[in-house]
Amino acid sequence: MNEAFRKALKFVLKWEGGYTPPQPGDPNPTNYGIIQRVYDSWRKEKGLPTRSVKEITMQEVEQIYWERYWLPAKCELVKSLPAKMVLFDTCVNMGLGGMTTLLRKTLNKLGYPSTGELTKLIEQVNKIDPLKFAQVFLEERRARYRAIAQNNPAKARFLKGWLNRVNDLEKTIKEVK
């Protein structure tokens, strides 16, 4: 784990907060944004017994975010901190598939090749001005949230929070170094 990861994780944890019990539209208990089934899976991989996500430690939180989100999103290959933060936060919030889909759409809009494996896509990201990349990517993310809310009334109540998070991320990446 490195300083870029720690800065990005600080942003994620600001929005993911502490323990949240199951609720309508989101049946999974979470703590620090880690859902119970992810925590169970991670603990089994480590040869540890499962337990309530309420009991997750900060060391486990950091390891899970590093292993399950930062590394799979190829954030280590991204040159700029703003782009790292945008990709990592999106991977946390939408999963690797959702992040990759938005990445392809963003690259298409910016006129860059959007085919091939994620490593190839990251090579394209590194050719783009980081703030321009982030601006277009976050607009795609906003559009995706609006589509989710429009197509799924049970999730529509989350739209304002999702958009607030994106707005805060957009502000934060302009301030990071």
Whichever domain contains 30, its CATH number is: 1.20.141.10
Range of the domain at 109: 3-175
Dihedral of CA atoms 148, 75, 10, 110 in degrees, nearest 10, equals -50
- Please check the confidence at residue 24 and state whether its pLDDT lies above 80: no
In the prediction, which pLDDT does 158 show?
85
Q: With 70 as the cut, is the pLDDT of residue 25 above it? A: no
So what's the pLDDT on residue 28? 86
| % of the chain at pLDDT higher than 70 | 99
Q: How far is the C-alpha of 24 from the C-alpha of 143, rounded, in Å?
A: 23
Residue 173 pLDDT greater than 70, yes or no: yes
Q: Is 63 exposed, middle or buried (0-12, 13-18, 19+ CB in 10 A)?
A: middle
* Residue length of the chain: 177
pLDDT at 34: 94
- Calpha distance 1→9 (Å, rounded): 11
Question: How many domains in the chain?
Answer: 1
pLDDT in tens, 127-159: 999 999 999 999 999 999 999 999 988 888 889
